[in-house]
Every structure is written in structure tokens, then in C-alpha cells.
Amino acid sequence: MADTFDLVIRGATVVNHDGEGIRDIAIAGERIAAIGDLGSAKAAAEIEAAGLHILPGVIDTQVHFREPGLDHKEDLETGSRAAVAGGVTAVFEMPNTKPLTTTAETLADKVRRARNRMFCDFAFFVGGTRENVSEIPMLEKLEASAGVKVFMGSSTGDLLVDEEAALDRILATISRRASFHAEDEARLKARMHLRRKGDPSSHPEWRDPEAALIATKRLVGLAEKHGKRVHVLHISTADEMDYLRDHKSYATVEVTPHHLTLEAPECYERLGAYAQMNPPVRDARHRAAIWAALQSGVVDVLGSDHAPHTREEKDHTYPETHSGMTGVQTLVPIMLDHVNAGRLSLQRFVDLTSHGPQRLFGIMNKGRIAVGYDADLTIVDLKRTATISNAWIESRCAWTPYDGVKVTGWPVGTFVRGRKVMWEGEIVEPARGEPVGFLEGFVR
């Protein structure tokens, strides 16, 4: 143990693999140096944290920060400000930018833009396409590569891969776990007539549960054929959960706070197109099934699917309205409110947002509070009641579907590799984000 630490955080309830208990945490440089009763330890700085809980840094494995090319909605700086403001210490960002992130050059450009400009640590998915299949083994191993992401349904035009032969080639080629947006494109095209002009509540009628189930079954079948690992993103239906429950050997499952929290038809009556997502927010039956799957262990991780659009883009007439909502900043308070309501335990929340991402993606030195790991910490006040507001949102688009929602449980502090980046609502450190390291890819 070091004679003198850079920081000791005292008296908080620490949540890690061996449960919850009041402990001190000492930080030296970027790493956790000691955990326990550190009453005699000397440190350059101390924080008294009695009454607070310290969680392993929350990792959001699905965000869209829009840079380059769509910076009017968001960029890497504003998106990462939103992340740390909400207690998130690392993010995996999606490839549907302009240009698309599908080559070594476009990935390297994102890394260059992000380093020491993002406030949290980062990795970037590389889009899997018909054209870059032969390069996937190389792309999976590059610095900051989170692996391959494939869009099976038209959520984002130029990255669409809807032919089974192309999907088969991608599944045959991957070595790391690949992530998929699973909706069947042929069914979506055939049902476009079900969209009612000016009525966003018709969105889940158009993009129905069968469209999701067809694609998920196709994907899992190919994963089983090739013995490859797949991650099915933002599951929104009871039908998929019933299927995935019995097909977990190669497939892992993500759910989102909005599919756990919002419910049709009420959300469309109240929010209109601001509740419009792909796949859609559905009715009470599907929401209940998602919760049941989470509570029974079918669900592996929680991702926000933070996908900001401007008010102008959301205020078009449906179906010209854009699908997506903000979420990275509200993930922690929304889910802590569910913890306080008894819908899941704090330990399960930590597993979904820290331990789970580490296991699934082979993240190095993150995802748990342990000596030698990065000092990534999400400090929360489980008893604090607050009201989420648009004014609090750091995202460039400056709105949240949870504006005016009162929650119990709030992020107090965000530490990224030992640096106090956010404290009591203020971002207090310059941006010093670095690439996340992976056991099967880039090693930091």
C-alpha cells in the first residue's frame, strides 16, 4: 500500500462484487490503490462521502454522439458532457455518422477527435457492411474499436444489411462479440402503409413485434450456425424475450431505460414524436415482459441508445419525424428511481451497467471496484429526490422525454481514471477522455 495517496474517499457504501458495505477507497494516479478501513491513510485530498453509495463507473454501451457530419444534433464533446453529468464514465458510440465509421481511417478520425476532448472514456463501433466484410478481422482489433455493429432494419439508411447472405458472411468473419439492430427490413417495407400521417402512435403498428422477432430469430440462427457471439440491442417485445430465453448460448440481450419506463399509448399522447424510437416503445404487455426478463436474468446489459435530434427534426409531421431520444444523462437517475421503487436491486443495476458490459465485451481494467482497476466511480445519493428538467440536459439538442419527471436517486459525482470530472451537477475537470482497452483488441 502506498504511503500517501492522491485521494481517499471516506465513509461511503461501496457496491462491488462482494456486496455492499461502508468502506474507504484510496486512489493513486489513475487506479484504485486500496479499499477498506483507511482511517490512518494519508492523502493529498479527501472526500467525506457518508450517506452516499459508490458504484463501479457506469458504462453505456450504446450511444449516438453524431460526430462527424451531424454535429448540429450532438458532438463528442457535448455528448460526453451529458454522460459525465449523469454519472456515466465510459461510452461505446455508434457508426452511423457522416462519413460512416466503416474503415480504419474513419475510426482513427473519431479517435483523434475524441482524445482529450471527450469527458469520459470511449470506444467506437465499426459498421459491418457488405463492402467491408473482408476487413472485419482487422477492424475489430484497432485502437478504440468496440467491435462490429450491424443494422438489419432501416433505422439508418447506408448501413443497412438486410440480405441473409451478407449477414452470413459477417457472422462467419467476426471473432469478437458483434452488436445488432434486429428488425426485418422486408416486413418494414411491406407495412409502411400502416403509418398514419400526423400520428406517432402508429409507429409501433408499423414496426410491429413480428418485424423484430423475424430478425432476431434469423440473427440467432446464424450465430448458432457459426458458433459466434452476438449482442441483440434494445429488445422491445415480449415475443423476442420468450425466444431469447431459450437461445442464450451465443446471444446476449440489451434493454433500454425508455422501454422499461415509457408505455404506449400514453407516451405518444403525452410526448408525440418525442417518444418515437426504433424499435418503438410498445404497450403494457411488452413492457411487463421486458421487466420479467430483466428480473429473471435473461437481460445482460442496459444501454441508453442515446440518439438526439433537434426539436425542429422532432416537430416535423409524422412519419417525417426523426426516431430517437436523449438518454445517456438520464440513465442513472431513471434506473435508480426504479431501484427505489423495488423493481430491481442496486446490485442488479450495477451488474447491468458495469459488470455486464465488462464481461460481454472483455473490457480491461473497468467495470468493478477493485484494487488495480481504473478509478472509474459513479457516486450516487439513493435518497435524494430531484426533478429531471430540460435545463439540466447537457446534450446539444437540450431536451429529454423525462422533463418534469420526479425521481428518487441522483448522480452526485463522476470519477474517470481517478479524476473528479463531475461533482454536484458541475463539470469540474477538463476533458481527458482516452480509448477503452479490450482483451481481444486494443490494449491501453
Count of helices and strands (H, E) across the chain: 15, 17
By CB atoms closer than 10 A (0-12, 13-18, 19+), residue 69 is: exposed
CB burial of 362-381 (b: ≥16 within 10 Å; e: otherwise) equals ebbbbbbbeeebbbbbbbbb
**Annotated catalytic sites, by residue?**
305
Polymer length in residues for the chain: 444
Reported for 75-79, long-range contacts at CB under 8 A and 24+ positions apart, including other chains, are 75/396, 76/110, 76/113, 76/114, 76/117, 76/118, 76/122, 77/117, 77/118, 77/119, 77/431, 78/394, 78/395, 78/396, 79/118, 79/306, 79/308, 79/328, 79/395, 79/396
DSSP string across 281-323: P--HHHHHHHHHHHHHT---EE---B----HHHHTSPTTSSPP
The torsion defined by the Cα of 261, 266, 271 and 272, in degrees rounded to 10, comes to: 130
Widest CA span in the chain: 70
**Would you say the C-alpha torsion 161, 166, 168, 171 has a positive or negative sign?**
negative
Q: Which amino acid is at 303?
A: G
Please state, in angstroms and rounded to a whole number, the distance separating the CA atoms of residues 211 and 125: 24
